[in-house]
Each structure stands twice: as structure tokens, then as C-alpha cells.
Amino acid sequence: MSNDAEIIAGRNSVLEALKAGRSLNKILIAKGERQGSIRDIIAQAREQGLVIQETEIVKLDQLSAGVRHQGVVALAAPVAYVEMEDILAAAYGKDEPPFLVLLDELADPHNVGAILRTADATGVHGVLIPKRRSCPLTQTVAKTSAGAVEHVPVARIGNVSQTLKALKKQGLWVVGADMDGTKDYYDADLTGPVVIVVGSEGEGMGRLTKEACDYIVRIPMRGKIASLNASVACSLLLYEVLRQRELKTK
């Protein structure tokens, strides 16, 4: 883990990172530590909606690799996160219907990196990643994305179904990919403002996420294996959106 995220150790360093608005994936605090500036750190982290996790001192010792951590370590993202509103504004600024991807509980950094790479290739305006139970931006994600992480804006979101409801209000269609979809993905109209929702590698989309979708599409399977890798399934959908949009503009 220590090779996979930039580690910021020590109370002052973490406070400075919070004040500077650094994109932090998580703040780890030693169990039972609530004294002095740790309180300020927790308050600021909560204000910024960051994930705070209590952990054993041994874990902090490992992560900080000899740097005095004083009971607190922050894991920083390799690039800055953006706000969802900025992604939508950029799409409208280009006079294009918004094209977003939401990763619902996708935990494998290689899949996230591969999806970012395809998102860059297909003209996705931005990727939405939940703050909890999903893989954040890490060095492994950045590496697997082959540089796409520098070009595809990523926003961290809170509640997935609330986010999808907010996007619907702004006129986006919510299209989920799942084996029990009602139509094949290439039969769906994907030319308008759309958010493609991809579920986790094993479980697929959560129940509430499914319920928030306008429709659910499936990828036809003719072989013995019943599902595709999450990043491959996502790639097929993203290229279908691109194909339909290209045809529409010709």
C-alpha cells in the first residue's frame, strides 16, 4: 500500500495538506487519538467530506516508513479530483451532451485505470467514483491508465443514488450495465446526455443503484462464461456511445 499512494505523515503536514486543498483519498488516525491538533484534522477532514479511518499504530508505522507520524497519516491522490459540476460545465462549454461514467463499488485499481484509458479515447467528459467502497485514484490506477488520469477529470461523490437523481434532474439519462438488462446495449439510444453506470467486478451494481437507472442494458454472451471483466464491459458501452454520436453528427 505504501508504494501505491503518496504518504503524508505527521500532524502539521496533514493539516497543511488539508488547508491547501490537496486531493486526499483517506486520513488514517491511530485508535484512541483525539488530542490537540488531531481534533482540528478530524474537523477539517469532515468539513471536506473526506474518509477518516481509525487504525493500529503498527499500520501507521509501516506506512510512514520511519517518518514521525504523531498518530496521523494521509493518503494523497496522484492528481487532483474535480467537482461534478465542473465536469458538466466543461461538457456544456464544448456544446456537447454530457457523457459521464459512474463506477459503482469498483475495487480493482487495474480496472479503474483501464476504464480511464478508454474514457479518454471515447471522449468521456468525466468519471464519478464514490468515496466509500470504491477504488480511489492511486499510483496503480495512474500507471494502468497510461497517462489518461491526467486528461480525464475524476470527481468523488457521496451517495450514488442521490447523485444519479441529481444528474437525472439535469437531463441526463442513467444507463446501467448488467447481465439482467432488458435490452442489448447496441439497441439503446445513447446519443443524448448520458451517464454509464458500471458495477463491481463480482457483485455488479448495488440494488439502489439499479433502481436509480432509467434503463439497464446487457451485453450478449454466447460463450460458457457468464460475464465480462468490468473494464471490458465498460469499454464496449463507451465505444457504442461514441459510435452513435458520430453517426448522429454525420
pLDDT in tens, the chain (250 residues): 334 568 899 898 899 889 888 889 899 999 887 778 888 899 999 998 898 999 999 999 888 888 889 899 999 888 889 999 999 999 999 999 999 999 998 989 999 999 999 999 999 999 999 988 889 898 889 889 988 988 999 999 999 999 999 999 999 999 999 888 889 999 999 999 999 999 887 778 888 999 999 999 999 888 888 778 889 999 999 999 999 999 987 7
Report the CATH number of the 84-249 domain: 3.40.1280.10
Residue 2 confidence (pLDDT): 37
Which residue shows C-alpha cell 495538506? 17
Kindly give, in sequence order, each residue whose CB lies less than 8 Å from that of residue 8, ignoring residues fewer than 6 positions away. Answer: 14, 17, 22, 24, 73, 74, 75, 76
Give 207's Cβ-side CA count (13 Å radius): 0
Residue 203, burial from CB neighbour count under 10 angstroms (0-12, 13-18, 19+): exposed
**DSSP string of the chain, one letter each residue:** -TTTSEEEESHHHHHHHHHTT--EEEEEEETT--STHHHHHHHHHHHTT--EEEE-HHHHHHHHTTS--TTEEEEEPSS--B-HHHHHHHHHHTT---EEEEESS---HHHHHHHHHHHHHHT--EEEEESSSS----HHHHHHTTTGGGTS-EEEES-HHHHHHHHHHTT-EEEEE-TT-SEEGGGS--SSSEEEEE-BTTTBS-HHHHHH-SEEEE----SSS----HHHHHHHHHHHHHHHHHHHH-
Residue 1 confidence (pLDDT): 39
Backbone phi and psi for residue 63, each to the nearest 5 degrees, phi listed first? -65, -40
Residue 5 confidence (pLDDT): 63
Residue 197 confidence (pLDDT): 96
**Cell output for 136:** 480511489
For 6-76, CATH number out of 3.30.1330.30, 3.40.50.2020, 3.30.200.20, 3.30.360.10 equals 3.30.1330.30
Domain chopping of the chain, boundaries: 6-76, 84-249
Residue 4 confidence (pLDDT): 57
Residue 158, burial from CB neighbour count under 10 angstroms (0-12, 13-18, 19+): exposed
